Amino acid sequence: MRRLSDGVEAALHCALALAWVPDDKVLAGKSLAELHGVSESYLLKHLRALTAAGVIDALPGPRGGYRLARKPANITLLDIVEAIDGREPAFVCRELRQRGPGSSKDPCVYKADCFIKSRMLAAEDAWRNALRIQTLADLVEDGETLICAHNKRAIADFVKQSQR
Protein backbone atom coordinates (compact mmCIF):
# COMPACT_ATOMS: atom_id res chain seq x y z
CA MET A 1 0.00 0.00 0.00
CA ARG A 2 1.10 3.59 0.15
CA ARG A 3 3.73 4.98 2.41
CA LEU A 4 2.27 6.87 5.35
CA SER A 5 3.85 10.18 6.28
CA ASP A 6 6.10 10.48 9.33
CA GLY A 7 3.37 12.65 10.84
CA VAL A 8 1.13 9.60 11.22
CA GLU A 9 3.63 7.95 13.55
CA ALA A 10 3.97 11.13 15.60
CA ALA A 11 0.18 11.55 15.76
CA LEU A 12 -0.36 7.95 16.89
CA HIS A 13 2.25 8.31 19.64
CA CYS A 14 0.81 11.64 20.79
CA ALA A 15 -2.73 10.27 20.87
CA LEU A 16 -1.49 7.33 22.94
CA ALA A 17 0.28 9.68 25.37
CA LEU A 18 -2.88 11.79 25.66
CA ALA A 19 -4.87 8.65 26.46
CA TRP A 20 -2.80 8.41 29.65
CA VAL A 21 -3.70 11.97 30.73
CA PRO A 22 -6.69 12.36 33.10
CA ASP A 23 -9.78 13.93 31.51
CA ASP A 24 -9.40 17.16 33.49
CA LYS A 25 -5.74 17.66 32.55
CA VAL A 26 -3.83 18.58 29.38
CA LEU A 27 -0.31 18.23 27.98
CA ALA A 28 1.39 21.13 26.27
CA GLY A 29 2.64 20.69 22.71
CA LYS A 30 6.15 21.36 24.01
CA SER A 31 5.82 18.45 26.45
CA LEU A 32 4.54 16.10 23.74
CA ALA A 33 7.46 17.11 21.51
CA GLU A 34 9.93 16.49 24.34
CA LEU A 35 8.36 13.13 25.16
CA HIS A 36 8.82 11.97 21.56
CA GLY A 37 12.13 13.67 20.79
CA VAL A 38 10.81 15.79 17.92
CA SER A 39 10.74 19.53 17.34
CA GLU A 40 7.80 21.42 18.73
CA SER A 41 7.16 23.24 15.43
CA TYR A 42 7.04 19.92 13.56
CA LEU A 43 4.65 18.40 16.06
CA LEU A 44 2.34 21.43 16.33
CA LYS A 45 1.43 21.06 12.65
CA HIS A 46 0.21 17.54 13.30
CA LEU A 47 -1.53 18.48 16.54
CA ARG A 48 -3.45 21.18 14.62
CA ALA A 49 -4.53 18.54 12.09
CA LEU A 50 -5.69 16.21 14.87
CA THR A 51 -7.60 19.12 16.43
CA ALA A 52 -9.25 20.05 13.13
CA ALA A 53 -10.33 16.42 12.70
CA GLY A 54 -11.89 16.33 16.17
CA VAL A 55 -9.48 13.72 17.52
CA ILE A 56 -7.99 16.01 20.16
CA ASP A 57 -9.00 19.29 21.78
CA ALA A 58 -6.68 22.27 22.04
CA LEU A 59 -7.16 24.42 25.12
CA PRO A 60 -5.67 27.92 24.73
CA GLY A 61 -3.82 29.99 27.28
CA PRO A 62 -0.76 29.73 29.48
CA ARG A 63 -2.17 26.63 31.21
CA GLY A 64 -3.51 25.24 27.95
CA GLY A 65 -2.52 22.20 26.02
CA TYR A 66 -4.01 19.14 24.38
CA ARG A 67 -6.31 16.34 25.47
CA LEU A 68 -8.35 13.69 23.69
CA ALA A 69 -11.66 14.91 22.29
CA ARG A 70 -13.27 11.49 22.74
CA LYS A 71 -12.71 8.34 24.70
CA PRO A 72 -9.92 6.14 23.27
CA ALA A 73 -12.46 3.47 22.29
CA ASN A 74 -14.16 6.07 20.06
CA ILE A 75 -11.03 7.11 18.16
CA THR A 76 -10.04 4.77 15.36
CA LEU A 77 -6.58 4.45 13.90
CA LEU A 78 -8.17 5.50 10.61
CA ASP A 79 -9.36 8.75 12.26
CA ILE A 80 -5.74 9.54 13.10
CA VAL A 81 -4.30 8.47 9.74
CA GLU A 82 -6.87 10.49 7.80
CA ALA A 83 -6.38 13.53 10.03
CA ILE A 84 -2.72 13.61 9.04
CA ASP A 85 -2.60 12.17 5.52
CA GLY A 86 -6.12 12.98 4.30
CA ARG A 87 -8.88 10.85 2.85
CA GLU A 88 -7.74 10.82 -0.74
CA PRO A 89 -7.16 7.38 -2.26
CA ALA A 90 -3.56 6.22 -2.42
CA PHE A 91 -4.03 4.83 -5.93
CA VAL A 92 -4.98 7.18 -8.73
CA CYS A 93 -5.81 5.60 -12.07
CA ARG A 94 -4.40 7.66 -14.94
CA GLU A 95 -6.15 5.46 -17.53
CA LEU A 96 -2.93 4.22 -19.07
CA ARG A 97 -4.99 1.57 -20.84
CA GLN A 98 -6.26 4.31 -23.13
CA ARG A 99 -2.75 5.22 -24.31
CA GLY A 100 -0.23 3.58 -26.55
CA PRO A 101 -0.46 1.10 -29.40
CA GLY A 102 -2.91 -1.27 -27.68
CA SER A 103 -5.52 1.40 -26.97
CA SER A 104 -8.82 1.74 -28.76
CA LYS A 105 -10.44 4.81 -30.27
CA ASP A 106 -13.85 3.33 -29.44
CA PRO A 107 -15.01 4.95 -26.14
CA CYS A 108 -17.32 1.98 -25.47
CA VAL A 109 -14.25 -0.15 -24.73
CA TYR A 110 -13.58 1.97 -21.64
CA LYS A 111 -17.07 2.17 -20.13
CA ALA A 112 -16.19 -0.29 -17.35
CA ASP A 113 -13.66 0.75 -14.74
CA CYS A 114 -10.10 -0.37 -15.32
CA PHE A 115 -9.71 -3.78 -13.67
CA ILE A 116 -6.35 -2.72 -12.22
CA LYS A 117 -8.01 0.32 -10.63
CA SER A 118 -10.76 -1.92 -9.22
CA ARG A 119 -8.24 -4.27 -7.60
CA MET A 120 -6.14 -1.45 -6.18
CA LEU A 121 -9.13 0.37 -4.71
CA ALA A 122 -10.44 -2.89 -3.21
CA ALA A 123 -7.06 -3.44 -1.53
CA GLU A 124 -7.07 0.10 -0.18
CA ASP A 125 -10.61 -0.36 1.10
CA ALA A 126 -9.49 -3.48 2.99
CA TRP A 127 -6.56 -1.54 4.47
CA ARG A 128 -8.85 1.32 5.58
CA ASN A 129 -11.35 -1.13 7.05
CA ALA A 130 -8.55 -2.75 9.06
CA LEU A 131 -7.63 0.66 10.51
CA ARG A 132 -11.31 1.50 11.05
CA ILE A 133 -11.84 -1.45 13.42
CA GLN A 134 -8.74 -0.73 15.53
CA THR A 135 -8.99 1.98 18.16
CA LEU A 136 -6.78 4.03 20.37
CA ALA A 137 -8.07 1.86 23.23
CA ASP A 138 -6.44 -1.10 21.47
CA LEU A 139 -3.12 0.78 21.50
CA VAL A 140 -3.56 1.56 25.19
CA GLU A 141 -4.13 -2.14 25.85
CA ASP A 142 -1.08 -3.06 23.75
CA GLY A 143 0.99 -0.55 25.72
CA GLU A 144 -0.02 -2.15 28.98
CA THR A 145 1.36 -5.51 27.90
CA LEU A 146 4.11 -4.60 25.42
CA ILE A 147 5.89 -1.60 26.96
CA CYS A 148 8.45 -2.74 29.50
CA ALA A 149 7.90 -1.75 33.14
CA HIS A 150 10.88 0.66 33.16
CA ASN A 151 9.63 2.59 30.11
CA LYS A 152 6.01 2.61 31.36
CA ARG A 153 7.18 4.09 34.64
CA ALA A 154 9.32 6.71 32.88
CA ILE A 155 6.47 7.72 30.56
CA ALA A 156 3.94 7.80 33.41
CA ASP A 157 6.28 9.97 35.50
CA PHE A 158 6.88 12.34 32.57
CA VAL A 159 3.14 12.63 31.84
CA LYS A 160 2.29 13.20 35.51
CA GLN A 161 4.95 15.90 35.90
CA SER A 162 4.06 17.61 32.61
CA GLN A 163 0.26 17.60 32.78
CA ARG A 164 -1.51 20.82 33.61
Instruction: Report the domain count for the chain.
Output: 1
What's the pLDDT tens digit per position in 50-78? 999 999 999 999 899 999 999 999 999 99
Domain span at residue 146 reads 6-87+135-162
73 Cβ contact list (under 8 Å, min separation 6): 135, 136, 137
Give φ, ψ of 91 to 5 degrees: -100, 130
What's the pLDDT tens digit per position in 115-135? 999 999 999 999 999 999 999
**Domain presence at residue 112:** no
Q: Which residues in 91-125 are b (16+ Cβ under 10 Å) and which e?
A: eeeeeebeeeeeeeeeeeeeeeebeebeebbeeee
Give me the CATH number covering residue 51. Answer: 1.10.10.10
**Domain presence at residue 48:** yes
**pTM to 2 decimals?**
0.88
**Domain presence at residue 123:** no
